[in-house]
Structure 1
């Protein structure tokens, strides 16, 4: 809906956007429905995000087929993350300058092309190229989905609809290792891409039959200097953080230092372009206090989430001797719980706001992480680990779904795409920072205990305990930040002038 000069809502003049709005406003019953196009966009996002973790179980097969080391094989996942970090900052500009259908077509076509390259790669280097191409298409989908939801869904229904996105955000990464483990039982790792490609093609065709263009496009030249600064800066920063524990401190300092310098230069250049030209990433979104608070809260939350999530697989595989597929099956219920609760949490947010959800969720997350630090040892029952992991994922669902909705709802429509890109970019950086901090604490504590006479396993358990305590400290910061939240999104300021 748009509003007249008196602030009274009136029907949109854009017939395609008005058709979307009609799905919510024709009757009270319609407010309980999610538009088919949103469901299809969620399905497409699920498929592309699934690929971020789907190759984890295939690494031994790649090492044998291409005669590469374990460190080389790890790049099959690292290149995906680095490409996401490099491309997401560009999507804010991109989504404002192409139509919704064009953005979706380009994203899914790029992803499909990358999948074909991966499935037919004759050498390992070509496989990495295919993974980078896949990630470039994936990087567009999350901001596109968020921007579309914010544009076509009225505020009173955004929480529930945004909750559906949790299916893609949380369930897909959790299912990746388990699904690939099942496919690998049938034969070659190439079957993974043979499975993904037709699924992605079917979802793409179905979506394009219903997807309509929403909003208006803008025309302005791209700042290639901004593209270069963002791509190299965020990629170097995330790479340096993700390699903590695997490279020398000198190399890490170089990568992280270069990344920080380039990201700082990118930020200053965007501030300059906001006055004189068209910024690649419009930082005026930070003028919204609510958006800024939710962004910091989600960043710290992702540091706790992703940092802690690497601990359980390390424990289960390195200490308890489970396979990657068995580990994936054990953590899958938590991911499913987080995703399936997303729409319910969103519906509750629509009725009562963010604080009654986020504050208890942050407290529960902190309690669970601290409890894990106390119960983890070489013989912790799997049932207890499973239960704690499910509760942790439930607490995270009550945090992230309201935060996505509250933060973006505080922006003007002109900033939706930029806000979505900022969220996506900082998720990648925050995840890398959280992982780096947790790994450093784990390794340093383990080495200290072993040098003091403890066995390797005892040292590893001691390191895990301290790492979970660090996650609980992140959780305590989230609790403090959640007290700064408003119950509902602030009313957006006046629209940002067109560039």
Structure 2
């Protein structure tokens, strides 16, 4: 039997941990009504189960560059995974809703440590000309977990106590902890690296305030409440102060000079557009299938699974092509495919068959696979090796913010525009919902088309160049 290359064991190791984090979060999405009933709580209180995870994760991510350099990437990743397991056990043993929310905050902080470091560990193990395929394989977890998570969560909440939503993580997390401890490569800690306390306070408050405002802004009324406006304005001003401050530090918490590298900056723009495209589908398609066509939750889950598998396949193929030819042969075609299929979803009718929606969403998955992770890999390849951990942290923070923005924008657009069409155009409820969803998909496709020319700026060291 052929021995597995040690660098691929690194990918397997981080796959276990990050897959568990993403899967657990998506498992909880459809179970919130059960928590409302079980704890006799309102929707706002229970919504904190999801919101606190997103906020605490976003607030922790900026730290990972410093922690990885100062103490070693492997050590920080293992600490993050261990803390996630502690949060899972605490969640399973919780007796009140407040205890569950605290446990989710712990899980979010752990996930914030793990996600950026996982990417940095893969980049450490692979040479530049092989990273596309490696990140593509790793990225499968990010696509498949959200697709199967709601189904697993629904089955657990139907047949088992809710505590198993948290206990489910433990065997996978423990396996990941054992494998990671054995196969991840250790790095030499930089004990001279100083901690930028002021920068940490500024970025933590700024990112946390923005994510908190977006997390509670599911309707226009909530988003325009004085508290939300103050949080958003305060967060943006604090992030601006952070940028101003960091540019004047000799040892900044996050080295913002990476944004002077055109390929890295463009990769952030591309992944932001792809994230908006991804989350427009995650939010709008369940509304389309259930509210417009009156189909079941099982059929909704069926709609996402082929798209996730196709995305994983094309993420791997796109990564391989990225290594051989460079990003220009992968990312722009992927964005165009994503834009065209999303535009097609913006032209549905009440008579459109389910199989056609399934096909279009599967094609969208292929476009996402070719655009999202390959763009990230190209951007990370373009920056100096010593800044990979910090570049990964900033990429993940910005991805988190744009994903939250996408969900908030489309949720508000859906509520406001649907109500407007119902009253002014005298449309039936399902007709108003369909037209609103069509318009939202068209807006999403326009965002992606706008970004396509920028994707041609992406440069990369492909295999032929590396060999020469």
* Residues 432-487 of structure 1, C-alpha deviations (whole Å, 9 max, x = no match): 22223323332332122112122222221121111011101111122121132235
1:309 and 2:282 aligned: yes
1:411 and 2:383 aligned: yes
1:146 and 2:119 aligned: yes
Which among 391, 408, 412 is matched to residue 363 of structure 2? 391
Q: Could you tell me which residue of structure 1 aligns to residue 338 of structure 2?
A: 365
1:337 and 2:310 aligned: yes
- After the TM superposition, which residues 277-356 of structure 1 pair with which residues of structure 2 at under 5 Å, given as runs? 278-356=251-329
1:247 and 2:213 aligned: no
In structure 1, what is the Cα distance between the partners aligned to 2:420 and 2:159? Answer: 44
* Residues 339-369 of structure 1, C-alpha deviations (whole Å, 9 max, x = no match): 2332222111111111111111111111111
1:263 and 2:239 aligned: yes
Aligned-partner SS, 2:207: helix
CA contact 1:181–1:325 (8 Å) conserved in 2: no
Q: Could you tell me which residue of structure 2 aligns to residue 92 of structure 1?
A: 65
1:450 and 2:422 aligned: yes
1:435 and 2:411 aligned: no
Aligned-partner SS, 2:26: coil
Alignment root-mean-square deviation, CA: 2.1
In structure 2, what is the Cα distance between the partners aligned to 1:250 and 1:66? Answer: 27
Deviates more, 1:407-416 or 1:168-177: 168-177
How many residue pairs match? The answer is: 457
* Residues 369-400 of structure 1, C-alpha deviations (whole Å, 9 max, x = no match): 1111101x444322111111111011111112
In structure 1, what is the Cα distance between the partners aligned to 2:415 and 2:457? Answer: 34
1:59 and 2:35 aligned: no
Aligned-partner SS, 1:61: helix
In structure 2, what is the Cα distance between the partners aligned to 1:357 and 1:262? Answer: 36
CA contact 2:270–2:372 (8 Å) conserved in 1: no
Aligned-partner SS, 2:279: helix
In structure 1, what is the Cα distance between the partners aligned to 2:307 and 2:46? Answer: 27
CA contact 1:449–1:459 (8 Å) conserved in 2: yes
Q: TM-score if structure 2 supplies the norm length?
A: 0.92
Q: TM-score if structure 1 supplies the norm length?
A: 0.87
1:113 and 2:86 aligned: yes
In structure 2, what is the Cα distance between the partners aligned to 1:130 and 1:206? Answer: 25
Q: 1:43 to 1:341 in 2, by over 3 A?
A: farther
Which among 184, 207, 212 is matched to residue 157 of structure 2? 184
CA contact 1:369–1:472 (8 Å) conserved in 2: yes
CA contact 1:50–1:173 (8 Å) conserved in 2: yes
Q: Which runs of 4+ in 1 moved over 6 A?
A: 29-33
CA contact 1:112–1:197 (8 Å) conserved in 2: yes
Aligned-partner SS, 1:380: coil
Which structure: greater helix fraction?
A: 2
CA contact 1:151–1:215 (8 Å) conserved in 2: no
1:35 and 2:8 aligned: yes
In structure 1, what is the Cα distance between the partners aligned to 2:134 and 2:332? Answer: 21
In structure 2, what is the Cα distance between the partners aligned to 1:449 and 1:342? Answer: 39
Which among 122, 132, 138 is matched to residue 95 of structure 2? 122
In structure 2, what is the Cα distance between the partners aligned to 1:199 and 1:268? Answer: 42
CA contact 2:10–2:122 (8 Å) conserved in 1: no
- After the TM superposition, which residues 224-239 of structure 1 pair with which residues of structure 2 at under 5 Å, given as runs? 224-239=197-212
Q: 1:406 to 1:224 in 2, by over 3 A?
A: same
Cα distance, 1:144 vs structure 2 = 1.1
- For structure 1, which runs of at least 5 residues remain unmatched after alignment? 1-28, 490-499
Q: Could you tell me which residue of structure 2 aligns to residue 163 of structure 1?
A: 136
Aligned-partner SS, 1:484: coil
In structure 1, what is the Cα distance between the partners aligned to 2:297 and 2:413? Answer: 24
CA contact 1:229–1:266 (8 Å) conserved in 2: yes
CA contact 2:266–2:458 (8 Å) conserved in 1: yes
In structure 1, what is the Cα distance between the partners aligned to 2:167 and 2:4? Answer: 39
Q: 1:311 to 1:31 in 2, by over 3 A?
A: same
* Residues 181-214 of structure 1, C-alpha deviations (whole Å, 9 max, x = no match): 2222321111121221122112211221222303
CA contact 1:159–1:350 (8 Å) conserved in 2: yes
In structure 1, what is the Cα distance between the partners aligned to 2:429 and 2:44? Answer: 22
CA contact 2:61–2:393 (8 Å) conserved in 1: yes
Q: Could you tell me which residue of structure 2 aligns to residue 214 of structure 1?
A: 187
In structure 1, what is the Cα distance between the partners aligned to 2:390 and 2:291? Answer: 41
Q: Could you tell me which residue of structure 2 aligns to residue 45 of structure 1?
A: 18
In structure 1, what is the Cα distance between the partners aligned to 2:118 and 2:337? Answer: 29
- For structure 2, which runs of at least 5 residues remain unmatched after alignment? 463-468
